[in-house]
Amino acid sequence: MTDTDTDTETTDSSAVDTGDAELRHFLEVDDLSREELLAVLDRAAAYKGAQARGDDHEDLEGQTLGMIFQKPSTRTRVSFETGMTHLGGHAIFLGADDIQLGRGEPLKDTSRTLSRYVDAVMGRVFKHDNIEVLAQYASVPIVNGLTDDAHPCQTLADLQTIREHEDGFDDVSAAWIGDGNNVAQSFAIGAALTGIDLTIATPEGYGIDDAVLERARSLGGEPTVTTDPIDAVADADVVYTDVWISMGQEDERDVRMDDFEGFQVNDGLLAHAPDASVMHCLPAHRGEEITDDVVEGDRSIVFDQAENRLHAQKALLSWLLE
């Protein structure tokens, strides 16, 4: 799901200190401690239950979320905007061409200006440096809605989904199959924080960053890395995949299709994981990284993941803004 671009601003040491010791950002999954992560997931479950019962939960009444989109989205935009409505607040869509950012205004100026107007900012941006610049100059919480390096909000929904279907995280094993992209990297950190036993199977040259693996290990995780998808899914409770060819990688299509041969999540691969549920963060390229039959099959929990973006993000926003 990673998208590539060359538009980058770098951080510098001249950012103004807001003096607010309580200001928290969510740029990476491990910006939360294990205890905080579990508390957010508890809150997500409570919001999901409240919504199902029709109970009022307008915990952010009168508050506004600014949403910067340098990249298009379905799930990110709709889940955040709907979530703020459910919480009694308001969300403003800010496409790059709709604000001065698209006319060359520095991110640091956009960040400082928006901080005077809104209560929090979600950014779906290109380079990870860009979200860090927004956070460096902001005086309100910044949420990473996706960068080329990380997708922590997706991981919150993934963990909520696994927790629901596995009745917790104890003795849960997961296999990531395919590209070691931003979703994989955030999921590796989330698995480490929650104690999920993770095996990552990617073709040679497509693995997740070594620094991410080291972070996962420093958090108590012991991710296994392999190039054999069959070995990876053996005894897995969850099999997770994502697209092989993301926006910005279209010119690599022929090479990637060859390199990822054998990594499709299909009935043949899942025969080696007879009890596993199947996850995909969407959008899916059906017939490439996953078959249509698997997405639509009884083992798919793909759309539970998609729904849980809403509940997990509501929990995150209320936790950051309470």
Give residue 96's pLDDT: 82
Mark whether 7 is an active-site residue: no
Q: Which of 25, 43, 77, 124 is catalytic?
A: 124
CA distance 65 to 91: 5
- DSSP string of 47-76? HHHHHHHT----TTTT-EEEEEESS--SHH
**pLDDT tens digits, one per residue of 115-148:** 999 999 999 998 999 999 999 999 999 999 999 9
Q: Could you confirm whether 299 is annotated as catalytic?
A: no
Say whether 112 is catalytic.
Answer: no
269 is in an annotated binding site: no
Q: Is 228 a catalytic residue?
A: no
Q: Is 205 in a helix, a strand, or coil?
A: coil
**Annotated binding residue 274:** no
Q: Is 151 a catalytic residue?
A: yes
Query: Residue 79, annotated ligand binder?
Result: no
Q: Say if residue 6's pLDDT is above 70.
A: no
Domains of the chain (ranges; CATH) run: 25-151+308-321 (3.40.50.1370), 154-246+253-303 (3.40.50.1370)
Task: Select which of 30, 129, 149, 242 is catalytic.
Answer: 242
Query: Is 124 an annotated catalytic residue?
Result: yes
CB 185: neighbour CB atoms within 10 A?
28
pLDDT value of residue 9:
56
CA gap 313, 311 in Å, rounded:
6
Q: Is 153 annotated as a binding residue?
A: yes
Task: State if pTM tops 0.85.
Answer: yes
